[in-house]
């Protein structure tokens, strides 16, 4: 809190690592709300970005509790408006549209009911369907702001039902004057969406990125484009549709096209004003000077533009017809496209904007068909806008199946700072926080910002409730490692198997295992089957395996939880970086132990990764190895953190690889794990590990009451105010800041 206050005072950015379950969210919310109350002029808004919808809901719950507390203590209604925002899919209350499952379909159908031209057509002709909720909102909602309070997604829906207003647009509209906004990362980071949703958030806001250990990857993903052959084929189809629509329109209503032409001459700025519902097609971050310019003449008329698009698509198609891997810079790509099909850089830049404008003019309401074309237009704009920090890689086939031709063009962002830069520049304080951010100094480098505060907090605990151990060898003293050379070694695989069997025999309820990749998981499980290890394992616990299929995995998860609840016990084999390792918590009995088999390095042969590493080395002076280790360790830490979700929880963390005990790996673990990782637990064999587990589990099973925590990890008001404690806090505060 102290650190956060400093960052707020300094109006700078900060980076905080706090273990999960220690009240991270509450701390952030309560301090920032208090700050907002104390300095209403300096700080007007809190934007809280989280990753998933359940996490957003959790934040709203915390906020509600805080507000209730304020009300109870201050005895009056609080004048604070908190709001959660999610996609149309989660907020729609339209009777038929909300039944749709896929987000894109909901967006498309919503668009077809609420776009301005549809509504205009409705005014002329009653038969055109529109959304009554949006109409209701448009007619009344804008004048009456939402009363203060805390609204999560369900509350918004309820409120919308009551007033017959569309909750989605209500929320979007309310963002501008709400005090606290909670939504997903993408609303802020993805330039395509941010432009529309978050444009009007004032500069004096605090932005919090929660669970932000993967923030650089989110940034990169939001700026990268992947084009496959199928996508291009679809593009050609949509271009034909465009062509026919244009020719139709020319016959019927050529005025409209003329009008558009004129508008484009005037410049893009005006074209985008007051079109809030037409959000599906907005341009990626264009430098503002481009927006001031007029659209170049070559693509101003609709027919020319379509022909232009056709040329671009055909060009990319020919590029995909390669037999070997090609890697080139955006500049090289631009030169090539210029010589081959005579397309300049400037019109390319306007592709996305021009396409959006065209689709609006043509009054095409079903947007879902056009998403491939939109992707290509984004690609064209991005490739011509940025010459640095990106690379183009064309692979004629996948590495796994070199015989099957499946050409893919990757336009990959190498620099994660590009996407987040506007965020850092615009807002006075950006807080990046997660349970696992170590090593902290890497983030400022790769995101290219200067934090005023960078701190890793540890937990104050009444009992040692995590037990990290590094197991480096099996009972036969053969070193365990997932190194490439020893991967196929049966002795190593057998030792991993024995470790799991013995741990399964000693640890109650649920155990989660993480492997480095799906491929590795499969080979290991098949050889375990041959060695009879699976049979031994099933004597103690049931076995579940995560697969790449999401439905299968969630079924496995449900049954895993059931097995844990019933006392049968279960083992879940999953993959670091997979779905399980990122989004799912294994609290209490669901994860009494986490085993990490090997170090989860990324697939180093990938060309995109290589290009990124090279770029990082050249631009930020980060050595390849450093980055790889950093990336591997943060994923390992993320996996380990799955089992620890609060102070009353406890869990074993086993790192089964010899290499973990090296100083460069160990020191990259989060501080709260390192603190418990004693030197004596760093080079264990399987049986030593099991002995330690058994003893520790008995200790942990002893009754643990609130009184035991009192004075150590829980403080009463008197204790907090006592001088001794104050001194201790001071000491700690000085100890952690560096």
Partner 1 sequence: MADEDETKEYRWESGYEKTWEAIKEDDDGLLESNVADLVARAKRKRAALKATGAIQLGMMRHLFVVVDASACMFLQDLKPTRFLCVLKLLEVFVHEFFDLNPISQLGILTTKMKRSEQITVLAGNQKKHIEALQQLKDLSCEGEPSLQNSLERAMNGLKNMPAHSSREILVLFGSLTTCDPGDIQKTIKALKDNNIRVSIIGLAAEVRICREIAKKTGGTYNVLIDDHHLKELILSQVQPPAVAGSLEASLVKMGFPGGTPSVNDGTSDSSADHAPAYCLCHIDSETSSLMGPNGYNCPQCGSRYCELPVECKQCGLTLVSAPHLARSYHHLFPIKPFMERAQVPDTTHCFACAKLFLEAETNVYECENCHQIVCLDCDLFIRETLHTCPGCASDPVTAQMKTN
Q: Which residues bind partner 1 (CB under 8 A)?
A: 498, 501-502, 505-509, 536, 539-541, 564-569, 588-589, 592, 687-688, 690-691, 694-695, 697-703
Minimum distance, C-beta of residue 491 to partner 1, in the bound complex (Å):
14
Minimum distance, C-beta of residue 497 to partner 1, in the bound complex (Å):
8
Indicate the residue among 570 and 669 with the shorter CB distance to partner 1. 570
Backbone angles phi, psi at 574, to 5 degrees: -140, -175
Task: Give the three-state DSSP class for 389.
Answer: coil
Indicate the residue among 351 and 681 with the shorter CB distance to partner 1. 681
Contact criterion met (CB below 8 Å) for 267 and 294: yes
Cα–Cα distances (Å) from 251 to 113, 213, 293, 357, 360, in that order, read: 26, 55, 31, 20, 18
Minimum distance, C-beta of residue 686 to partner 1, in the bound complex (Å):
9
Indicate the residue among 323 and 702 with the shorter CB distance to partner 1. 702
Give the integer Cα–Cα distance in Å for 246 and 357: 13
Give the integer Cα–Cα distance in Å for 31 and 26: 8
Task: Give the three-state DSSP class for 574.
Answer: strand
Minimum distance, C-beta of residue 540 to partner 1, in the bound complex (Å):
6
Indicate the residue among 703 and 735 with the shorter CB distance to partner 1. 703
Indicate the residue among 58 and 589 with the shorter CB distance to partner 1. 589
Minimum distance, C-beta of residue 391 to partner 1, in the bound complex (Å):
49
Indicate the residue among 384 and 498 with the shorter CB distance to partner 1. 498
Q: What would the two tokens of residue 461 be?
A: 């605990």
Indicate the residue among 338 and 694 with the shorter CB distance to partner 1. 694
Rg (CA), the chain: 28
Minimum distance, C-beta of residue 704 to partner 1, in the bound complex (Å):
10
Indicate the residue among 621 and 705 with the shorter CB distance to partner 1. 705
Do you know the residue count of the chain? 738
Cα–Cα distances (Å) from 690 to 451, 492, 497, 654, in that order, read: 43, 18, 14, 10
Indicate the residue among 237 and 475 with the shorter CB distance to partner 1. 475
Indicate the residue among 101 and 698 with the shorter CB distance to partner 1. 698
State how far Cα 96 lies from the chain centre.
30
Minimum distance, C-beta of residue 283 to partner 1, in the bound complex (Å):
53
**Closest Cα partner for 641 from 597, 579, 678, 591?**
591
Minimum distance, C-beta of residue 600 to partner 1, in the bound complex (Å):
26
Minimum distance, C-beta of residue 473 to partner 1, in the bound complex (Å):
15
Contact criterion met (CB below 8 Å) for 394 and 323: no
Give the integer Cα–Cα distance in Å for 685 and 116: 68
Indicate the residue among 374 and 561 with the shorter CB distance to partner 1. 561
Indicate the residue among 14 and 503 with the shorter CB distance to partner 1. 503
Minimum distance, C-beta of residue 650 to partner 1, in the bound complex (Å):
9
Contact criterion met (CB below 8 Å) for 682 and 661: yes
Minimum distance, C-beta of residue 55 to partner 1, in the bound complex (Å):
25
DSSP string, 216-245: HHHHHHHH-EEEEHHHHHHHHHHHHHHHHH
Minimum distance, C-beta of residue 522 to partner 1, in the bound complex (Å):
23
3-state helix vs strand vs coil in the chain, percent to 5 = 55, 15, 30
Indicate the residue among 147 and 703 with the shorter CB distance to partner 1. 703
Indicate the residue among 77 and 535 with the shorter CB distance to partner 1. 535
Contact criterion met (CB below 8 Å) for 182 and 48: yes
Cα–Cα distances (Å) from 384 to 10, 219, 305, 335, 696, in that order, read: 38, 19, 17, 11, 59
Give the integer Cα–Cα distance in Å for 120 and 169: 18
Reduce the secondary structure of 651-711 to three states and give it as a string: EEEEEECHHHHCHHHHCCCCHHHHCCCCHHHCCEEHHHHHHHHHHHHHHHHCCCCHHHHEC
- HSE of 297 in the Cβ direction (CA atoms, 13 Å)? 0
Minimum distance, C-beta of residue 380 to partner 1, in the bound complex (Å):
56
Indicate the residue among 562 and 623 with the shorter CB distance to partner 1. 562
In this structure, how many other beta carbons lie within 10 angstroms of the beta carbon of residue 717?
7
Indicate the residue among 304 and 562 with the shorter CB distance to partner 1. 562
Give the integer Cα–Cα distance in Å for 70 and 391: 51
Reduce the secondary structure of 125-160 to three states and give it as a string: CCCCCCCHHHHHHHHHHCCCCCCCEEECHHHHHHHH
Cα–Cα distances (Å) from 146 to 33, 143, 637, in that order, read: 19, 10, 41
Angle between helices 490-506 and 533-540 (to 10 degrees): 10
Give the integer Cα–Cα distance in Å for 566 and 303: 67
Cα–Cα distances (Å) from 382 to 348, 376, 389, 467, 614, in that order, read: 9, 10, 11, 48, 21
């Amino acid at each position: 809190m102290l650190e956060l206050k400093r960052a707020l005072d300094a109006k700078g950015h900060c980076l905080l690592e706090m273990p999960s379950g220690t009240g991270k969210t509450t701390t952030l919310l309560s301090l920032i709300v208090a700050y907002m109350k104390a300095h209403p002029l300096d700080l007007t808004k809190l934007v809280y970005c989280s990753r998933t919808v359940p996490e957003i809901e959790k934040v709203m719950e915390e906020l509600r509790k805080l507000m209730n507390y304020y009300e109870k203590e201050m005895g009056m209604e609080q004048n604070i408006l908190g709001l959660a925002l999610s996609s149309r899919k989660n907020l729609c209350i339209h009777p038929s549209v909300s039944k749709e499952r896929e987000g894109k379909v909901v967006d498309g159908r919503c668009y077809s009911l609420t776009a301005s031209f549809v509504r205009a057509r409705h005014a002329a002709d009653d038969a055109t369907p529109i959304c009554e909720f949006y109409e209701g909102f448009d007619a009344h909602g804008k004048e009456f702001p939402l009363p203060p309070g805390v609204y999560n997604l369900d509350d918004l829906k309820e409120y919308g039902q009551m007033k017959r207003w569309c909750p989605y647009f209500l929320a979007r509209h309310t963002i501008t004057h709400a005090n606290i906004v909670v939504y997903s990362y993408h609303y802020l980071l993805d330039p395509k969406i941010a432009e529309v949703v978050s444009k009007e958030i004032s500069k004096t806001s605090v932005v919090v990125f929660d669970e932000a250990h993967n923030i650089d990857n989110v940034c990169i993903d939001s700026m990268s484009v992947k084009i496959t052959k199928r996508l291009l084929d679809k593009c050609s189809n949509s271009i034909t549709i465009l062509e026919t629509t244009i020719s139709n329109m020319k016959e019927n209503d050529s005025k409209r096209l003329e009008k558009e032409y004129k508008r484009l001459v005037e410049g893009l700025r005006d074209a985008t004003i007051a079109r809030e519902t037409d959000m599906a097609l907005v341009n990626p971050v264009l430098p503002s000077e481009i927006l001031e310019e007029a659209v170049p003449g070559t693509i101003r008329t609709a027919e020319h533009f379509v022909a232009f698009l056709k040329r671009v698509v055909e060009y990319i198609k020919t590029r995909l017809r390669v037999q070997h891997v090609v890697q080139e810079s955006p500049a090289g790509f631009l030169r090539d496209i210029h010589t081959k099909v005579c397309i300049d850089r400037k019109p390319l830049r306007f592709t996305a904007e021009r396409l959006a404008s065209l689709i609006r003019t043509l009054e095409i309401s079903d947007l879902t068909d056009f998403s491939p074309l939109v992707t290509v237009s984004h690609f064209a704009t991005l490739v011509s806008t940025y010459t640095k920090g990106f690379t183009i890689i064309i692979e004629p086939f996948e590495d796994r199946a070199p015989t099957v031709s499946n050409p893919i063009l990757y336009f990959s962002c190498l620099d994660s700072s590009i996407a987040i830069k506007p965020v850092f520049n615009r807002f006075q304080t950006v807080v990046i926080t997660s349970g696992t951010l170590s090593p902290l100094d890497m983030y400022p480098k790769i995101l290219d910002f200067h934090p005023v505060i960078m701190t890793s907090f540890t937990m104050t605990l009444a009992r040692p409730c995590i037990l990290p151990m590094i197991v480096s060898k099996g009972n036969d003293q053969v070193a365990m490692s997932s190194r490439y050379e020893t991967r196929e070694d049966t002795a190593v695989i057998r030792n991993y198997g024995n470790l799991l069997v013995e741990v399964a025999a000693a640890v109650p309820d649920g155990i989660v295992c993480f492997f480095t990749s799906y491929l590795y998981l499969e080979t290991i499980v098949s050889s375990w089957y041959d060695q009879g290890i699976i049979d031994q394992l099933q004597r103690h616990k049931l076995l579940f395996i995560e697969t790449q299929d999401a439905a299968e995995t969630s079924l496995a998860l449900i049954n895993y939880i059931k097995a844990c609840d019933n006392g049968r016990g279960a083992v879940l084999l999953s993959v670091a970086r997979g779905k399980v390792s990122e989004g799912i918590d294994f609290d209490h009995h669901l994860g009494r132990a986490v085993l990490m088999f090997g170090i989860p390095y990324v697939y180093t042969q990938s060309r995109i990764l290589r290009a990124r590493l090279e770029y990082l080395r050249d631009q930020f002076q980060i050595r390849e190895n450093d980055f790889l280790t950093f990336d591997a360790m943060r994923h390992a830490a993320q996996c380990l953190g799955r089992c620890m979700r609060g102070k009353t929880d406890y869990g074993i963390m086993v790192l089964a690889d010899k290499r973990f005990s090296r100083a460069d790996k160990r020191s990259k673990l989060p501080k709260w794990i390192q603190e418990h990782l004693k030197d004596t637990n760093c080079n264990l064999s399987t049986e030593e590990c099991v002995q330690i587990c058994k003893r520790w589990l008995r200790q942990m099973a002893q009754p643990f009451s609130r009184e035991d925590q009192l004075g150590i990890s829980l403080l009463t008001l008197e204790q907090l105010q006592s001088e001794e404690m104050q001194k201790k806090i001071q000491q700690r505060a000085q100890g952690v800041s560096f």
